[in-house]
Structure 1
Amino acid sequence: METRRPLIVDIKRDSREDGPGIRTVAFFKGCPLRCAFCHNPEAQETGPEIAFAEERCIQCGECVKACPRAAIALENFDRIDRSRCDGCGQCAAVCRGGALRVIGAYWPVEKLAEALLRDAAFYRHSGGGVTLSGGECTMFPAYVQDVLRRLKAHNIHVAVETSGHFEWKAFSRKILPHLDLVLIDLKLADRAESIRYLSQSNESILHNLRRLLAQDTVEVRVRIPLIPGITDSYGNLAAIVDFLRAAGAHDVSLLPYNPLGLAMYRRLGRHVPDLPSSFTAPEREQELFKIFRGIIAEPTKHTDELIRTAGTIRQPPFAAQQQATTCSRKCLTEEREL
C-alpha cells in the first residue's frame, strides 16, 4: 500500500510533444533519479517546495511575517532557509509580487481524472489523449492505476513518460495493462556513467526496457536525450543502438538538448548544473542525426557491460532506421513559468 500521497506539479494542456495528437499531460512530483541534467528539477522531490523568483520580489516583507518556521529573511541572498522550510505555502499566499509559489499539490484521483477528461473532445478529433509524466509517475502505481482506469472507462488513449527506473512487478500488474503507449528515455548505456550522471545504476532501466520491448500489447517509443558532453558521444550512442537493436526496438528518436529548466534550479535554491544556457546549434543537431544514422547503418558489437547488466539478449531485426531521426524539441518555445 502506498504511504505517500502523490503531488502534481502541473497540468499542461494542448501538448503536441508527449505522444500522438493533442494531449493533456499531468506532471507528477517525485523521481528516484537525480540526473545531473534534469529538465524538471521541481519534479524531483516528493514533497511540496517553494520556488522563489527574485526578479519579482518587491521587498514587502509579508512572507517573513507569514512564515511559521522563520525560514525567510530578506537580507539573505538565498532568501529561504531550505532546511527550515516545509513547503506549507503560507508565504506564497501573502506574496504581493508573485515571487513565491508552492510547487506540488495533491489531487484526489477523481478530481485529477475529471480535469484530464475535460479535453476529451480534442483527444478524439486529433487522435490524442492523456500522458502521465513527471518526475516519475510510476513511483505511485496504485494511484496511477486508479487514474488510468477512470480514463480508459471513457476510451481515452493513455501514455506514460518514464525514465525506466521502476519496480517491474508493480508496474506490470497495476500500470501496464491500462496503457496504450510507453515513452521511455534511455540516456546512458554505461553503468558507471549512469551512476555518475543519473545517481543510480542503469541495470533496472535496461532490464525494464528489455521487458517492455518483449511484450506486444503496448506500443513502446524509446527516446535518447542529447545532453552536450554527457549523452551525445559516439560511444554512448553506439552502445545504446547496439542494445536497442538486440532488444528489438522499432521506434527510436533523438531529443535535442533543452536548457529551459536551468532557471528553476535557482528558484529552488539549488546548485545550477554546468550546462549550456542555449539550445544546441542546428548544425550540431544535424551532425548528431547524421552520426546516429551512420551508427544504425553499421551495427556495433555488444559491449560486455551491456551483456552483464541486461542478461541474455536476442538479436531480432532492428527497424528503427526510418524513424531514428525523429526530433521532438520539447518545450522549444515554451516560456517556463515560476
Structure 2
Amino acid sequence: MDITKAVKEILRKNQRVISSIYFVACGGSLVDMYVADYFIKAESAKTFTGLYTANEFCHVPPKALGEQSVVVLCSHGGNTKETVEAGRLAKQRGAQTVGLTYNKDAELLNVSDYSFLYDWGADSEVRNNPMAISLDLTVSLIAETENYEHYNEFRQGMDIIDTVVNNAVKQVQKRTKNFADKYQNEEMFYILGSGPSFGHAYGFSICSLMEMQWLDSTAVHSGEFFHGPLENTDQNRNYLLLLSEGRTRPLDERVKSFLQQHAKNVEYVDAKELGLDLIPSEVIEFFNPILFYSVLSEYRYALSKVREHDLEARRYMGKVSY
C-alpha cells in the first residue's frame, strides 16, 4: 500500500485526531520499529507512543488503546501468533491497524486495516524495508497532525538513504573480514549504542549473534554504560560500539574515550565515517539505524562464513514447541 494513501485514510477515519501510535512485534521485527517509536517521543508534543513485544501487549494492553489509536504490527513471515493476536485485540478495542510483512499470504493481513508488503533480499532498496516504511509512515502522520517542521528534510533523507547505505556497505567489506578473522573464536560480545540506534544494538545482540550464531551477547545503552557496566571492562572482553550521528553522539563518544583507555578488543562502527552526514542534520539521527542495519548485516555475514555457521541454522525456532 502507498504510505501517502494510508496516511490520508487513517486521518479521514479518525477525523484527523490520533491520540496514540503503538508499535507491536517480536524480535527483529520489533527492533525495526524502535526508531519510529523514538521519533514520536523526540518530536511529537501530542501523540502518545509505546513499543511492545507482542505477547506482553496481548496480556497487558495499554489502557489508552482505543478508537483514536493506531497500532503498527510487523511480522516478517506474517504468521507470528503473538503479533496476529495483538492485531485482533487492537481491532476489538477500535484501533486502526497497520500490518507490515514480506508474505503476501500472511495471516497478519487478516487483522490489518492497511497492509504493506515490503521488499526483502540483497537487491531490495532499504527505503522499502520494514524499518524505513514504519518510520516513513510515522513521520508522515506526525507531519499531518502536528505540522512537523523538518518533514521536507526527512523526505530529502529518504531520497538518498539508499545511496548512503550502498556506499557504506562497499566501504566496510575489508573491515568486516578483519573483524570476523579476529573474533571468530570469541563467545561473548557487548554491543553499545544510543538514541534510535540502541534498538539495533539490541537487535544485533539478540538476533544476529544469539539467534543466528548461537553466541552470548548483551546490549548496553551508551548512556547507561557508566552506571554499572563499566566495572566489567577489561582487556579481554569484546565490544562493538555504534557511534551515531545526531543529538546523542556525545554519549557514544564518551564510551569510546573510556574504551580506548581501558579496553583492547573494540570495533567502532561510526555513522559519520560511513557517510551519513549527507543526510540533513535536522533529521540525521533517525537514519542511523537504517544505515547500521545494512552495515551490521555485513558483519554478521562475514562472521558466519569464517565460523562456518549458517545464518539460517536453528536448534529450536520453528523446530520444537514453545
For normalisation by structure 1, the TM-score amounts to: 0.30
- Rg (Cα) greater in structure: 1
The structure carrying a bigger helix percent of its residues is: 2
